[in-house]
Amino acid sequence: MLAGRMAGAQPRRLGILMMNMGGPKTQEDVAPFLSNIFRDTDIIKLPLQGVLGQLIARRRVDKVRRQYMQIGGGSPIEKWTRLQGDGMVRALDRASPATGPHRYYVGFRYTRPSMEHAVAAMLRDGIEHAVAFTQYQQFSGATTGSNLNELFRVQQRLDPGGRLRWSFIDRWGTHPGLVGAFADRVEAQVARLAEGVRGTTPILFSAHSLPLSTVDRGDPYVAEVGGTVAYVVAELRRRGVANPYRLTWQSAVGPVRWLGPQTDAAIKKYGAAGYTSLIVVPIAFTSDHIETLFELDIECREVAHAAGITQFLRAEALNAHPPFIDALAALVKEHIDAGFPTSTQLLLPDPGAESRDTLQTRQWIADQARRLAGDSGGQ
Ligand SMILES: C=CC1=C(C)c2cc3[nH]c(cc4nc(cc5[nH]c(cc1n2)c(C)c5CCC(=O)O)C(CCC(=O)O)=C4C)c(C)c3C=C
Ligand SMILES: [Fe+2]
Ligand SMILES: [Fe+2]
């Protein structure tokens, strides 16, 4: 592991950048949000991207606006990110006063507050060491990879001389704090089941799907989601919950082939097979958003009821669950205490075809790791 061991040389001012995709806060935000997603070749590659991408985005606007209307008008992602960030820095100030006071910044890829806004604020505040902390627990080039590419472009524009030192928390899908928090959420739903079906009700872990072409070029997301599921299942077994389980995929959009089986199709099949209860667990995102509040709670619930599943339960998103907030703080503290290591996976590019942007970003990340190692005497 190429790590910057900062023995006795803690940074004077630390800023934590919470990176995520963002979501439309208002009805007006929906069109630019979709337009930004379909412009991004890291999330989806389309023939004639500029034309087809914008066409798909425009065609989705009305439907997606209606969906956000049904969940209160917009995405709650910023609200949850701020509650998580507030809790995280409070816990860090308590656990690690030497590196405090801790500050966090929110950088979204497709909506405000943008990555540019966050990095500008860090520079203004005199931050010296920035921790880019992805809020996607499992790594995908479509999500964290896209965020890092955007961060690289932004820092080149705003900080070409490299005043900020950067380190990265790029994946944490098997962190014990995260795993325990997910297990809490599942256990709470198991407890609601009627006694007769408590041990036999299927648990369906559901993650956002990926285009098959992304899976095929070695994107680590699918394996990492599987890792989270395996750890959560092991923790549930330890707690005496031994229900059957499966991993399925939701939210395919656009005219490409996507990884299956799809969550709604699986629900239908379990209904047809005679199950009358089911627990669905959103496993690839930490807070509520359109995929939980609309797709799972409204669309999939209808599918379940039509298929004869009368008790359709959804594990609550982690949101502001205190053990989850503690996990966020623990992840940052462990990163600080270990001397800001860069994960070996981030330093070794995915073997599949990668964009020039990604290769340049990985080079910048490796440079930052070397720079931190140099700070501490070249270990
Ligand atoms: C276009 C391709 C898309 C890929 C690939 C993709 C991967 C992906 N997405 C998430 C998490 C979320 N996506 C959300 C919304 C959303 N995603 C896409 C497209 C792709 N996502 C679109 C077009 C949208 C907008 C809604 C829609 O049109 O259906 C959200 C919700 C945001 C919110 O409401 O706050 C999340 C969360 C992951 C984890 C992922 C793959 C790794
Ligand atoms: Fe998505
Ligand atoms: Fe969706």
**Can you tell me the ipTM of this complex?**
0.94
Residue 117, C-beta contacts closer than 8 angstroms, at least 6 positions apart: 107
| DSSP code for 114 | B
pTM higher than 0.90 for the full model? yes
Distance 100 CA to ligand 3 centre (A): 39
pLDDT of residue 376: 74
Is the minimum distance from the CB of 56 to ligand 1 under 6 angstroms? no
Distances (CA, A) of 58 to 6, 17, 65: 49, 31, 11
The predicted model gives 101-106 an average pLDDT of 97
**β-strand partners of 277:** 311
Q: What is the mean pLDDT of residues 30-36?
A: 98
Q: Is the CB of 25 under 6 A from ligand 1?
A: no
Nearest to residue 324, comparing CAs of 137, 191, 169?
137
On average, the pLDDT of the chain sits at 94
φ, ψ dihedrals at 107, nearest 5°: -125, 115
Q: What pLDDT score was predicted for residue 2? A: 40
Q: What is the pLDDT of residue 3?
A: 42
Ligand of minimum distance to the alpha carbon of 290: 1
Backbone φ and ψ for 13, nearest 5 degrees, come out as -130, 115
Q: Is the pLDDT of residue 82 over 80?
A: yes
- Whether cis (ω within 30° of 0) applies to the bond prior to 349 is no
C-beta of 92 in contact with ligand 1 (< 6 A): no
From the CB of 60, is ligand 1 less than 6 Å away? yes
pLDDT of residue 182: 98
Mean pLDDT across 73-94: 97
Average pLDDT over residues 27-46: 96
> What is the mean pLDDT of the segment spanning 319-328?
98
Q: Average pLDDT for residues 81-93, to the nearest whole number?
A: 98
Q: Return the HEC string of 349-372.
A: CCCCCCCHHHHHHHHHHHHHHHHH
Q: Is the model's pLDDT at 254 over the cut of 90?
A: no
Ligand 2 geometric centre to CA of 13 (Å)? 34
**Ligand with the closest atom to the CA of 64:** 1
Which structure tokens are listed for 170? Answer: 């790029």
Cross-sheet strand order for the sheet of 129-134: 103-108, 14-20, 129-134, 165-169
**Ligand 1 atom with least separation from CA of 138:** 42
**Ligand 1 atom nearest 22 alpha carbon:** 35
pLDDT digits (tens, 9 = 90+) for 175-220: 999 999 999 999 999 999 999 999 999 999 999 999 999 999 999 9
178-190 pLDDT, tens per residue?
999 999 999 999 9
Contact 371/165 with Cβ under 8 angstroms? yes
Residue whose CB lies within 8 A of the most ligand 1 atoms, among 65, 171, 253, for a mutation test: 253
3-state secondary structure of 164: coil
Per the listing, tokens 């501490």 go with 376
Q: Is 215 in the pocket of ligand 1 (CB under 6 A)?
A: no
Is 317's C-beta closer than 6 angstroms to any atom of ligand 1?
no
Domains, the chain, with CATH or none:
14-23+75-170+322-375 (3.40.50.1400), 176-314 (3.40.50.1400)
Split at pLDDT 50, 70, 90, the class of 379 is: very low
| Residue nearest ligand 1's atom 38 by CA | 208
Among 73, 123, 87, 84, CA closest to 106: 84
**271 pLDDT higher than 80:** yes
Residue 277 Cα, ligand 2 centroid: separation in angstroms?
27
In angstroms, the CA 268 to CA 177 distance is 33
Ligand minimally distant from the alpha carbon of residue 40? 1
200, two tokens: 């036999």
Q: How far is the CA of 65 from the centre of ligand 3 (A)?
A: 12
Closest ligand 1 atom to the C-alpha of 207?
A: 39
